[in-house]
Amino acid sequence: MRVEPYLIFDGRCEEALSFYRQALGAEIGMVLRFKDNPDPLPPDALPPNAADKIMHAVFKVGKSTVMASDGRCVGPPRFEGFSMALNVKDEGEAKLRFTALSDGGQVQMPLAKTFFSPCFGMVMDRFGVSWMTTVYL
């Protein structure tokens, strides 16, 4: 059994996939658009311009799988009550990934040495997803 995050970007999924490819080296796998759904949705399920939006996508960051969607495309994405934990091998990679994730986002705790890591920081990316970057020894 595995537990994998499923992020709903409310209309910004394609932009998010591109951003995570650049910022984290994400490998994009399956991308299924609403217009390709073999089962028609009820007429009021989505806004009229949502046919090209992403119904389901899968991407990998390192060995981790993350799933994503545009959801119902009804407003700004809301990611509350959790953080994505990005565990990296060294301080150089921590700085690289943290800086990339903070582009257009908001640093919540700058990278710094802590009692549990030589380099830890927290950032909310441009989509509102919270990331905790940690170097584990």
Q: Residue 137: is its pLDDT beyond 80?
A: no
**19 conformational bin, left if phi > 0, alpha if psi -120 to 50, beta if neither:** alpha
Q: Residue 45: is its pLDDT beyond 80?
A: no
pLDDT tens digit sequence for 11-34: 999 999 999 999 999 999 999 999
pLDDT above 90 covers what percent of the chain? Answer: 82
**Closest Cα to residue 95, out of 121, 113, 117, 114?**
121
pLDDT tens digit sequence for 66-120: 999 999 888 889 999 999 999 999 999 999 999 999 999 999 999 999 999 999 9
pLDDT tens digit sequence for 59-75: 999 999 999 999 988 88
On the CB side of 104, CA atoms within 13 Å amount to 12
**In sequence order, what are the residues at sequence separation of 6 or more whose Cβ sits closer than 8 angstroms to the Cβ of residue 43?**
none
**Res 112: pLDDT:** 98
